[in-house]
Amino acid sequence: MTQRASRLLRPDLCVIGAGSAGLTVAAGAAQMGASVVLVERGAMGGDCLNTGCVPSKALLAAAASAQAARTAERFGIGLPEPAIDFPAVMAHVRDVIAQIAPMDSVARFEGLGVTVLRDHARFVDARTVETGTGQCIRARRVVIATGSRPVVPPIPGLADGPFLTNETIFDLTDRPEHLVILGGGPIGCELAQAFRRLGSAVTLIEAKRLLGRDDPELTAVVRDRLTAEGVRIHEAWCAESVTQQAGRVRVRAADATGATASFEGSHLLVALGRAPVADALNLDVAGIAHTARGITVDDGLRTTNRRVYAIGDVTGGPQFTHVAGYHGALVLKSALFRLPIKASATALPHVTFTDPELAAIGLSEAEARARHGDAVRVLHWPFADTDRARCQRATDGLVKAVTDRKGRILGAAIVGAQAGDLLAPWILALHRGVPVRALATMVAPYPTLSETAKRTAGAYYASRLFSDRTRRVVRLLSRLG
């Protein structure tokens, strides 16, 4: 007891987890004058930097480069099939991580005045956090930002042999000859395309449909491209058992009718969703409610222990780095300035970085119709009608926006080249209540892909503007001299 008391730290904030969520809080709070203890048991930067966004996007960039060489023919440039030096590709991935790592490093955070403890943290009572080496921290507020890990379901045979997840796939030194992927969510789709373009055979097994949270009209464009590039996609097949023998993996799957099929390869990637990392935190002694989905929080991101917030992936909500950052910024407002916050007040975008990319914010057509019935207007603009897309031979794709009868934007989704970047005006419009009229009348530079926003918004007026009534009015006015 004496030993604990002498080692007690009493900061304003104790942050558990140095991923996107925890680092946002720690950096912001320290720079705004709060005392902060940050506890991290693994690599600084968490999933996003080490095993998530950064390595996957770096790998996709290398794969896109190989694909650009293969498809240069359409510009009249013939190139040989690119030689893939897989170890060099993986060295590129590690180099990108190393370049970003200083931003998330202990040195940077200590420089900001944060006390960084490289250790496991857990609660010992409602107010106290203890590290593995016995350092006790009693903070005014605690922020849990412990993230998520890949789900490994109890599929018979799966645990008996080696398999890859996002935590291990970026450590590969040899290219898989044939990668079998379980799960057609963002991880499954992005990595399927990356490995296929880098020369692996790829088989993807998805129990429902590819990118099931997105509008089927748009996911069809991604599916067609993946298929055209040689990814063997098996939708509506649920993996039921796995066997591994002599370096081969075999997945047995069943469809809705009960029919079964086997899919074979050299490596297996499990991309079946995420589970919260909360089990070793001793949440019950701190009175913090949680479920298998994540730590329970209210709209102010507070747990059932009022002194403790939970943010990012561990809450089981949308699991993206920008959401972790958004949560972090909200908690700073609440914990430091005691201002009210409402996490559900802002519509959150998401992007899947396949080629073509798929980006969306707000309500899909189906969600808008369920909420607003016939009052919904659906606007389309194909990339094929955009001159810049034609110049770049990037005509696969479309913008789809949903408005109410008065032109209030309810949602927008884009599939196509740079869809993630092209979503920006729609995000702003949705957040600030900018009507579709404002997008339709903006002067977009020609020839850019950003014209697609103007054209899509313009579709709201097309039927009215180019109607018999308008023609009659124009003719009448012209007669007046």
Ligand X SMILES: NC(=O)c1ccc[n+]([C@@H]2O[C@H](COP(=O)([O-])OP(=O)(O)OC[C@H]3O[C@@H](n4cnc5c(N)ncnc54)[C@H](O)[C@@H]3O)[C@@H](O)[C@H]2O)c1
Ligand Y SMILES: Cc1cc2nc3c(=O)[nH]c(=O)nc-3n(C[C@H](O)[C@H](O)[C@H](O)COP(=O)(O)OP(=O)(O)OC[C@H]3O[C@@H](n4cnc5c(N)ncnc54)[C@H](O)[C@@H]3O)c2cc1C
| Binding site feature residues | 57, 146-148, 183-190, 206, 273, 313
Phi, psi torsion values for 117, nearest 5 degrees: -115, 120
Q: Which stretch binds ligand X (CB under 6 A): 186-194, 224-232, 339-347, 391-399?
A: 186-194
- Give the residue, chosen from 164, 187, 202, 221, that forms a contact with ligand X under the rule CB under 6 A: 187
Partner interacting with residue 188 (select from ligand Y, ligand X, none; CB below 5-8 Å by kind) = ligand X
- Give the residue, chosen from 89, 198, 297, 351, that forms a contact with ligand X under the rule CB under 6 A: 351
Partner interacting with residue 16 (select from ligand X, ligand Y, none; CB below 5-8 Å by kind) = ligand Y
- Expressed in angstroms, the distance from the first to the final Cα of the chain is 96
Rama region for 258: left / alpha / beta (φ>0; ψ in -120 to 50; rest): left
Contact 136, 9 (CB under 8 A): yes
Indicate whether 221 belongs to the interface with ligand X (CB under 6 A): no
Beta bridge partners of 206: 235
Cis peptide upstream of residue 80 (ω within 30 degrees of 0): no
The residue among 34 and 311 lying less far from ligand X, judged by its C-beta, is 311
The residue among 40 and 214 lying less far from ligand Y, judged by its C-beta, is 40
Q: Specify the amino acid at residue 453.
A: A
The residue among 123 and 353 lying less far from ligand X, judged by its C-beta, is 353
- Helix, strand, or coil (residue 462): helix
Q: Specify the amino acid at residue 212.
A: G
In the complex, the smallest distance separating the C-beta of residue 51 from ligand X, rounded to whole angstroms, is: 11
Partner interacting with residue 312 (select from ligand X, ligand Y, none; CB below 5-8 Å by kind) = ligand Y
Partner interacting with residue 222 (select from ligand Y, ligand X, none; CB below 5-8 Å by kind) = none
Indicate whether 239 belongs to the interface with ligand X (CB under 6 A): yes
DSSP label at residue 360: E
In the complex, the smallest distance separating the C-beta of residue 228 from ligand X, rounded to whole angstroms, is: 21
In the complex, the smallest distance separating the C-beta of residue 59 from ligand X, rounded to whole angstroms, is: 12
> Quick one: which of 229, 225, 226, 268 has its CA closest to 245?
268
The residue among 320 and 460 lying less far from ligand Y, judged by its C-beta, is 320
The first and second tokens of residue 375, run together, are 């009052």
C-alpha 329/C-alpha 303 separation (Å) is 17
Partner interacting with residue 185 (select from ligand X, ligand Y, none; CB below 5-8 Å by kind) = ligand X
> Quick one: which of 27, 28, 34, 33 has its CA closest to 13?
34
In the complex, the smallest distance separating the C-beta of residue 169 from ligand Y, rounded to whole angstroms, is: 8
Q: Specify the amino acid at residue 339.
A: L
Contact 24, 324 (CB under 8 A): yes
C-alpha 177/C-alpha 173 separation (Å) is 12
Q: Specify the amino acid at residue 43.
A: A
Q: Which residues bind ligand Y (CB under 6 A)?
A: 16-22, 39-42, 46-48, 52-53, 56-57, 120-122, 145-148, 166, 187, 277, 280-281, 312-314, 319-322, 324, 353
The residue among 180 and 436 lying less far from ligand Y, judged by its C-beta, is 180
Site size toward ligand X, by CB under 6 A: 25
Contact 370, 410 (CB under 8 A): no
Partner interacting with residue 280 (select from ligand X, ligand Y, none; CB below 5-8 Å by kind) = ligand Y
**Known binding residues for NAD(+):** 183-190, 206, 273
**Known binding residues for FAD:** 57, 146-148, 313
Residue 73 neighbours by CB under 8 Å, 6+ apart:
79
Instruction: Render 303-342 in DSSP notation, one character per residue.
Output: -SSTTEEE-GGGG-S---HHHHHHHHHHHHHHHHH-----
The residue among 83 and 259 lying less far from ligand X, judged by its C-beta, is 259
Partner interacting with residue 22 (select from ligand X, ligand Y, none; CB below 5-8 Å by kind) = ligand Y
Strand order of the sheet with strand 121-123?
A: 121-123, 129-131, 136-137
Rounded (10°) angle between helices 20-31 and 321-337:
30
The residue among 37 and 429 lying less far from ligand Y, judged by its C-beta, is 37
C-alpha 72/C-alpha 468 separation (Å) is 46
- Give the residue, chosen from 102, 132, 212, 230, that forms a contact with ligand X under the rule CB under 6 A: 212
Partner interacting with residue 206 (select from ligand X, ligand Y, none; CB below 5-8 Å by kind) = ligand X
Partner interacting with residue 203 (select from ligand Y, ligand X, none; CB below 5-8 Å by kind) = none
Contact 301, 329 (CB under 8 A): no
In the complex, the smallest distance separating the C-beta of residue 359 from ligand Y, rounded to whole angstroms, is: 11
In the complex, the smallest distance separating the C-beta of residue 477 from ligand X, rounded to whole angstroms, is: 51
The residue among 325 and 362 lying less far from ligand Y, judged by its C-beta, is 325
The residue among 41 and 252 lying less far from ligand Y, judged by its C-beta, is 41
DSSP label at residue 234: E
Contact 351, 420 (CB under 8 A): yes
Q: Which stretch binds ligand X (CB under 6 A): 26-34, 267-275, 303-311, 451-459?
A: 267-275
Which residue ranges make up the site for ligand X (CB under 6 A)?
182-188, 190, 205-208, 212, 238-239, 271-274, 319-320, 350-353
